[in-house]
Structure 1
Amino acid sequence: MLKQPLVTVRPIALEDYENWCLLYAAYAEFYAVRQTSAMRDQVWQWLQQSPPAIYALVAESAEGQVLGFLHYRVFARPLAASMGAYVDDLFVVPEARGQGIAQQLIQAVAQIGQQNKWSVIRWMTAANNLRARACYDKLAEHTHWQTYEIKLPTLN
């Protein structure tokens, strides 16, 4: 039986910046992505725009420790004539994994979606991220869609 920690899922706040930076750097490291503080600052700016370019939720323990985060963005679904959300990033600190925090973060986005009449929440993960996939398989349908991307040169 999983021991559920007492966590609160809430929108990210300005005072979360330092904790979020540490977690986001750990997330990048998990996926072996080189990330600089300037890159994190850019994402933080997107989170602070009005309206935000992306939204973030954090999972906070009863003691005030941020244990995880989730980034999502809203998108139009022309074929369905509806709106949806795409989860870009989801991370839970290693010592808190397996306690239902990722599920709580995803369920919070689903609740936001229901309130806003979205028709879908989507995300992807690496094929070899078996622990995350085991969690996601309990919450969502694994679709038959394949992901493609074109890498574009960055303009500096």
Structure 2
Amino acid sequence: MSAVIIRRFVASDHTDWIGLWQGYNDFYRRTVEDRTTERLWGLLLSGAGEPFAYAAELDGKVVGFAHYYFTPSTSDWTPRCFLQDLFASTAARGHGVGRALIEALYADADRHDAAQVFWLTEDSNATARQLYDRVARKTAFIKYQR
């Protein structure tokens, strides 16, 4: 297997991205409207701003993605970077895809002088948390939502 290539999405990635996006949504047991998916893909390709995204390519196929935003903070001068979605195909796991995506995001956050990079995951997401525990530190915050 070759090295993981991290790059921005291009139009020809649509089929691979849709399959990954569906896998991601299935993992989190959620349904996303088609119009939301179409809007997201359009924004990812536009290059006009947020959300930003990276594609992870392995052996010529897109096998993972990271979608992220920069957001102002009330306690930091510079923005924070929120990694909203991170996913690698089942077949690509264990090949450094997640780590490569996070490292690319860290580099972009550094270019934007972001005060921090943060993300959420389910407590039960043990496989991903093994990686997260190596590349970041867990905080004490608990998420509430309406």
Find out whether 1:145 has 2:141 as its counterpart. yes
Matches within 5 A, 1:107-118: 107-118=103-114
1:25 paired residue among 1, 22, 25: 22
Find out whether 1:84 has 2:84 as its counterpart. no
Q: Please give the TM-score of this superposition, normalised by the length of structure 2.
A: 0.92
- CA distance 1:101–1:5, shift in 2 (3 Å): farther
1:95 paired residue among 70, 81, 91: 91
Aligned amino acid, residue 116 of structure 2: V
Which sections of structure 2, spanning at least 5 residues, go unmatched? none
Rg: which structure is higher? Answer: 1
Runs (4+) off by over 4 Å: none
Find out whether 1:59 has 2:56 as its counterpart. yes
- Between stretches 131-140 and 52-61, larger displacement belongs to 52-61
Q: By how many angstroms is 1:47 displaced?
A: 2.0
Q: By how many angstroms is 1:8 displaced?
A: 0.6
Q: Please give the TM-score of this superposition, normalised by the length of structure 1.
A: 0.87
Please give the secondary structure, in 2, of the residue aligned with 1:78: coil
The count of aligned residue pairs is: 146
Residue in structure 2 matched with residue 154 of structure 1 by the alignment: none
Aligned equivalents of 2:69, 2:14: Cα separation in 1? 19
Identical positions, percent = 27
Residue in structure 2 matched with residue 42 of structure 1 by the alignment: 39
Q: By how many angstroms is 1:49 displaced?
A: 4.2
Which sections of structure 1, spanning at least 5 residues, go unmatched? 151-156
Q: By how many angstroms is 1:37 displaced?
A: 3.0
1:129 paired residue among 125, 128, 142: 125
Aligned equivalents of 1:117, 1:94: Cα separation in 2? 33
Aligned amino acid, residue 105 of structure 2: V
Residue in structure 2 matched with residue 153 of structure 1 by the alignment: none
Aligned equivalents of 1:137, 1:146: Cα separation in 2? 17
- CA distance 1:145–1:5, shift in 2 (3 Å): farther
Aligned amino acid, residue 99 of structure 1: H
Instruction: Indicate if the aligned counterparts of 1:5 and 1:99 stay in contact, CA closer than 8 A.
Output: no
Aligned equivalents of 1:92, 1:148: Cα separation in 2? 27
